[in-house]
Amino acid sequence: MNDKYKAELINGKPVILLNGSMIEKGFISIIDAEQKADKLNQASIKNNQVE
């Protein structure tokens, strides 16, 4: 599965990337960012199935 949203550390801080571009920052931990990215990916999959 190719996830559009991905959690990574940039300059030691967790962020969410959308196709390589940072879209959200300010997470306490990488785990929090990964959980949010997973939720965004699941929502994206559901939206694509509806269309």
pLDDT digits (tens, 9 = 90+) for 1-51: 568 999 999 999 999 999 999 999 999 999 999 999 999 999 988 887 765
The pLDDT value recorded for residue 46 is: 85
The token pair at 24 is: 């959200």
CA 28/CA 15 separation, integer angstroms:
10
The pLDDT value recorded for residue 1 is: 54
- Residues with Cβ within 8 Å of 30's Cβ and at least 6 positions away in sequence, in order, are 7, 9, 14
Q: Which of 37, 32, 46, 33 is nearest to 19 (CA)?
A: 37
The pLDDT value recorded for residue 18 is: 96
Determine phi and psi for 12, rounding to 5 degrees.
Answer: 80, 5
Q: Give the predicted TM-score (pTM) of the model.
A: 0.85
Determine phi and psi for 3, rounding to 5 degrees.
Answer: -75, 130
